[in-house]
Amino acid sequence: MTAAAFQSKISKMNSLYVGDLHQNVTEADLNEMFSEVTHRSLGYAYVNFYQPHDAERALFMFDNEMLEGRYLRIMRSDPDCTLRKIGVGNIFIRNLDKKSITNKNLYEIFSAFGDIYSSKVVCEENGHSKDYVYIQYKTQEAADRAIEKLNGMLMDNEKVFIERFKSRRARGGTWSQGQRVQQRVCQEPWQRHER
C-alpha cells in the first residue's frame, strides 16, 4: 500500500479506540469529554462486561426498556457475524400495526418457534415504527415454523405476511403501498385467515 493510499484510508476511519482508562471513568465522563466534537449519536453502542452472567442479566433487565422516547434493542454482540451474513433463519414480516408493534411483543410472539438471533422493528427518523420488521432465528427450521404458523394471521386487526427475507435486489425493489392488504376486524388478536 502506498503512503497516499494509507493516508486516504486513515482519513476515512471514523472510529476511535480509547484505552488505558482508569476503572472509575464512566460513559458520562467520556460523553462530556467528546461532546465538544459532536453531539449526535450514531444510534448504537457496545457495552462490555467481565462476566457472561452480567451480560445476560443486563440483557434481561434492559432489553425493550424506553430511553429518550425509544425502545432499546439489546442483543449479544457476535464477533463472528457468519450467521448474520449468510441469512439463515431470516424472515420479513409486513403489514403490522404501527402503533402497537415493539421488539418486546415481537419477542413474546416469535420466540415460541425457536431462539431468536436478532430482531428489528424498522422505525422512522422520529422513532415511530413502520409497518414491517425483520427477525433472524438461529436456525432455518425455527424460521420456517414461524412462517408456517403465523403467515396470514391477524395481529391487532391486521393480516400479517411473513416470508423468508430476500434482499432488495432479489425481490426487485421495495414493497409498494398497492401491495398492502385490506384490514379484517376480529375479536382475537391472532386467527388464521381462511382462504
The answer to the question of residue 188 being in a domain is no
Does residue 89 register a pLDDT over 80? yes
The answer to the question of residue 106 being in a domain is yes
pLDDT tens digit sequence for 7-63: 555 445 566 667 667 788 888 887 777 777 766 766 777 777 888 888 888 888 888
pLDDT at 171: 67
Q: Taken in order 152, 148, 137, 74, is the CA torsion positive or negative? A: positive
- Rounded Cα–Cα distance for residues 98 and 156 (Å): 10
The answer to the question of residue 190 being in a domain is no
Give the CA-trace dihedral at 81, 57, 90, 42, to 10 degrees: -70
Q: How many domains does the chain have?
A: 1
**What is the rounded radius of gyration, in angstroms, for the C-alpha atoms of the chain?**
21
The answer to the question of residue 2 being in a domain is no
Decide: pTM greater than 0.95: no
The answer to the question of residue 184 being in a domain is no
- CATH code for the domain of 97: 3.30.70.330
Higher pLDDT residue, 152 or 126? Answer: 152
